[in-house]
Amino acid sequence: MAELKRYSKRIKTMRLSRGMTQAELARAINQSQSSITMYETGRREPNSETFEALADAFNVPISSLIDKDVVNYADAINQAEIPKNDDIRLLVRGLNKLSPEQVAQAKNVFRAMFAITNPDLFEEGDDEQ
């Protein structure tokens, strides 16, 4: 149950930090308001599809909802850079699913694509995170 409470606190904190009501979140993820209440109170655990829908609604990676290593999730959410553009959000979501090797390949592709028009877009120190 302790793990379930972690999810519930994260879901509620994210919802409130975005100024959403339970009803608004329910509509955003195509569920009932009572389901949101149960998720937030720890009486029901979201399934994988629901976690994905919640992540989409909050515009965050799924790991921010379920990552056990994130202790102060409210600070992590508030400090996260959340893409505003839907295309960028989709791109970031796809990149989050790649292996480290694939991410490195994607960086090289982006560097090559923008080398002429924006040569300073990806500077050498940007790889260290």
Query: Which amino acid does the sequence have at 93?
Result: R
Tell which residue, 77, 81, 82, 128, has the closest CA to residue 107. Answer: 128
* Residue 9 pLDDT: 85
Domain boundaries, the chain: 2-79, 86-127
**Average confidence (pLDDT) over 57-84:** 60
Write down the architecture of domain 2-79 according to CATH: Orthogonal Bundle (1.10)
Q: H helices within 42-124, ranges in order? A: 48-58, 63-66, 73-79, 86-95, 100-114
In this structure, which amino acid lies at residue 119?
A: P
Give the per-residue pLDDT at 76: 45
Is the pLDDT assigned to residue 57 strictly greater than 80? yes
Residue written as token pair 């409130």: 16
- Separation CA 106–CA 19 (nearest Å): 35
